[in-house]
Amino acid sequence: MASKGSHNPKHGGSDDERSRDVRKMQSLFAAERSAPPLRAYEALGRLVQVARQDSGKACRVANFLVAWHTAEESGGGDPVDLWSVDAAIADDMLLVLQLIRESHRYPGDLGFQPEVEAIRRIWRRK
């Protein structure tokens, strides 16, 4: 994990970026009747925004996303990280877990490859 101040991730994110992320996910599954709920896609977009910040909770969200992306390389995720983030962020993480279970897809399959790769580079220094 990177220490505070050792990197310069993008802080926050504009409403336009969040809307873009949600639209990206909506367009990918617009034709699929079995697509997971929009709430899960919105949650994924919010988690990407949190992981771009410079905080302890951002590190935990980054761990979660990177573990999904490359579990074997990253050592997997720690479910106890849910204790160390705000309730709303933990709820988003649980929604994304449901998305993972129902969609059987990786972040790249959902159009989030560049975002998760950038988060991995920030937090894993690779």
> What percent of the chain lies above the pLDDT cut of 70?
72
Q: With cut-offs at 50, 70 and 90, classify the pLDDT of residue 4.
A: very low
For the chain, the straight-line distance linking the first and the last C-alpha, in angstroms and rounded, comes to 11
Please answer whether residues 20 and 48 qualify as being in contact, where contact means their C-beta atoms are separated by less than 8 angstroms.
no
Give pLDDT, residue 6.
38
For the cut 50, the answer to whether the pLDDT of residue 52 exceeds it is: yes
Cα gap 50→61, rounded to integer Å: 7
Give pLDDT, residue 92.
94
Q: How many Å separate Cα 60 from the centre of its chain?
A: 10
**R_g (Cα) of the chain, nearest Å:** 14
For the cut 90, the answer to whether the pLDDT of residue 20 exceeds it is: no
Closest CA to 66 of 85, 88, 81: 81
Give pLDDT, residue 25.
63
Hey, what amino acid is at 103? S
Cα gap 126→80, rounded to integer Å: 24
Cα gap 77→122, rounded to integer Å: 17
